[in-house]
Structure 1
Amino acid sequence: MLGTSSDHEVKEASKKELVEIFQVLEGELGDKPYYGCGPHSPLRLFHTFEMLGNFSFEAECPKLVSWAKRCMQKTSVSKSLCDQHKVYEVVLERKKKLGVELEI
């Protein structure tokens, strides 16, 4: 059919959009050591996004990954975040329970 996209095209477009959003965040970070909003929300989801989207944040947003590593060196940050692998497991469990595709 004309005008319809394959699942693969939709997933690739979603992945591209997600990376672009994080590249905006990376641009805002620039060379500053920390970002004003704090590290909690994106840090704990990097692994999940990478696994579901089949891409590398290190390749797409190297400054953001460097920032994340600096944040994780702070005990107050590293001790307050859930393990990124555990977050991914929880997402997979929810995906299974809901019976939905969560691939990016």
Structure 2
Amino acid sequence: MSWARHAVAETILRRTRTGEPVPQPLHDVLSRLTDLLVIGVPVAGSVDGTGFDAGLGELAEWLDSAEAAAVIGCTREYVRRIAEGLGGSRIGRRWIFPPDAIQEHVQGKEGA
């Protein structure tokens, strides 16, 4: 599945570089493939009909760098700089963070 995500991302990049329009469904496919790579593998007979187990959806609640920055009260650049210390995972060009790690960081800042 990662090769499919890479192919879609490459198509978007090439269209952007050449000034061609990038259809919204292409962005949607890229987003869905990224989410599927983060969430997990297909599970037959899932409740929501997508083929993916909703129980693995906790990862879908992770925060991206902009959301983490808003919670912490800093810039996205700073969040990306300390991403590994926050337990972040890089998915393509995107960083995602577990909400509990962000809350621990905020509480640690408040206690200092």
- TM-score interval, normalised by the smaller of the two chains: under 0.3
Larger radius of gyration: 2
Q: TM-score, normalised by structure 2?
A: 0.25
Higher-strand-fraction structure: 2
